[in-house]
Amino acid sequence: LRTIEWDAERKQVKMIDQRLLPGRLSYIYCQSGEQVSHAIKTMAIRGAPALGVAGAFGVALAMLELSQKRPVDWYEKLLSSCKSLEESRPTAVNLAWGVNRVLSLINPQHSDLEGAARIALEEASRIAEEDVATNMQLAINGSALIDDGDTIIHHCNTGALAGVDWGTAFGAIRFAHEQGKRVHVLVDETRPRLQGARLTAWECEQYGIPYEIITDNAAGYYLRNGRVQKVFFGADRVTANGDVVNKVGTYMLSLAAQANKIPVVCVFPITSVDLSVDNGDEVEIEERPMDEVLSLEMNGVKIAPANAKARNPAFDVTPFQLITAWVTDKGIIRSQFSQIIKRYVYNKPSDGK
Ligand code: MRU
């Protein structure tokens, strides 16, 4: 089961439509960069690593289209497709990373547009393969922090659906489960789009991982009463000082965990690190439509008055002081984040202490 992949027969990008889960597992197919941008904006595909791969395939599709139509200003058109892909969701840095990695291989002076499209598609497919390998390594590294018998609160969806496979924090839980460790997951719902209740719970079912869903606001109760040993989540962007920009609610969860001396573990690939930004307060937080908050119904009745307004930031910032361990594919960092992460990003060996 792959969240996103190239369908060679159709010459289209195939992705699981995450809006329909857990009710139905079905796929959508994209044949242009524009369709990929739309799929990202409307959350058919989401989760930081998956967005990186979607961005990469989006550029490849845009290049493919241009190689068929051959407009004179093809490179300007390609740049404009890249811009709209990047802007479709601004917070997860993986999206811009995926787009730019493919774009950087396209030479504006190129006259062989079919060749350029081939190069773009090969690179996007390579990024998708690398995502699986990186996430597997994350799963191995993160599972080392999980003990037999742990109950873990998990936020949002960070599983296979958030990458091509495995994902980030949930991948570590899945790997620990596969190693035979007894883990129990308290899956928080993750209002307003309920990625926890809809997607993480669905993944728990797929892999046979014991779980219960809790409301987001029950987390403090469980953290205080001694029934939880760890909190696990991913990241949409990690800044140079170790601040974590992640799904809204991560900050409150981390505060409650720290107050109760429960370890807070953040699991992310190096591609989610943005060293160009000093701290989380400098990151653009995506504000999503208010109807995501207001459109729910209970017993057939809307949960808010017809004229109610809402605010809907999709992410928040958890300051580095609240993080116990940053798990990356290169190793685990427990302190001195800013020094060690530079060595990881620039590929220099380090003892990770
Ligand atoms: O709005 P989403 O569903 O794209 O948000 C996803 C998250 O916040 C995840 O927790 C995050 O991408 C980190 S791990 C994949």
Determine the atom of ligand 1 nearest the C-alpha atom of 267: 14
Summarize pLDDT for 310-327 with one digit per residue, the tens.
Answer: 999 999 999 999 999 999
158 vs 276: CA distance, rounded Å: 24
Ligand 1 center to residue 71 CA distance, Å? 37
Determine the atom of ligand 1 nearest the C-alpha atom of 268: 14
Reported as a pLDDT band with limits 50, 70 and 90, residue 349 is low
pLDDT at position 142 = 98
Ligand 1 center to residue 166 CA distance, Å? 13
Of these residues, 150, 165, 216, 236, which one is catalytic?
236
User: Ligand 1 pocket test: which of 4, 95, 154, 157 has the largest number of ligand atoms within 8 Å of its C-beta?
Assistant: 157
If we measure between CA atoms, which residue out of 321, 12, 13, 325 comes closest to residue 4?
13
- Tokens representing 30 are 């994209």
Mean of the pLDDT values across residues 215-219?
98
Reported as a pLDDT band with limits 50, 70 and 90, residue 351 is very low
In this structure, of 41-45, 106-110, 306-310, the range with the lowest mean pLDDT score is 106-110
Average of per-residue pLDDT values in the chain: 97
Ligand 1 center to residue 339 CA distance, Å? 26
Higher pLDDT, 290 or 348: 290
Reported as a pLDDT band with limits 50, 70 and 90, residue 348 is low
Summarize pLDDT for 243-285 with one digit per residue, the tens.
Answer: 999 999 999 999 999 999 999 999 999 999 999 999 999 999 9
pLDDT at position 1 = 84
Phi and psi, residue 153, nearest 5°: -85, 130
pTM to 2 decimal places? 0.96
pLDDT exceeds 60 at position 350: no
Ligand 1 center to residue 89 CA distance, Å? 11
pLDDT at position 203 = 98
Summarize pLDDT for 48-82 with one digit per residue, the tens.
Answer: 999 999 999 999 999 999 999 999 999 999 999 99
- AA identity, residue 166: W
pLDDT at position 281 = 97
Summarize pLDDT for 122-175 with one digit per residue, the tens.
Answer: 999 999 999 999 999 999 999 999 999 999 999 999 999 999 999 999 999 999
pLDDT at position 353 = 37
pLDDT exceeds 90 at position 345: yes
Reported as a pLDDT band with limits 50, 70 and 90, residue 347 is confident
- Would you call 236 a catalytic residue per the annotation? yes
HSE, side-chain direction, 13 A CA sphere, residue 303: 11
Strands (E), the chain: 4-7, 12-16, 27-30, 151-154, 184-188, 211-214, 230-233, 237-239, 244-247, 264-267, 273-274, 297-298, 301-302, 315-318, 325-327, 332-333
Summarize pLDDT for 81-105 with one digit per residue, the tens.
Answer: 999 999 999 999 999 999 999 999 9
Mean of the pLDDT values across residues 322-333?
98
If we measure between CA atoms, which residue out of 175, 173, 340 comes closest to residue 273?
340
Pocket of ligand 1 (CB under 6 A): 46-49, 92, 156, 158, 162, 167-168, 195, 233-236, 246-247, 314
Summarize pLDDT for 182-211 with one digit per residue, the tens.
Answer: 999 999 999 999 999 999 999 999 999 999
Q: How far is residue 71 from each of residues 33, 67, 68, 75, 120, measured CA to CA in Å?
A: 16, 8, 9, 9, 18
Q: Is 92 in a helix, a strand, or coil? A: coil
Q: Say how many C-beta atoms besides its own lie within 10 A of residue 215's C-beta.
A: 12
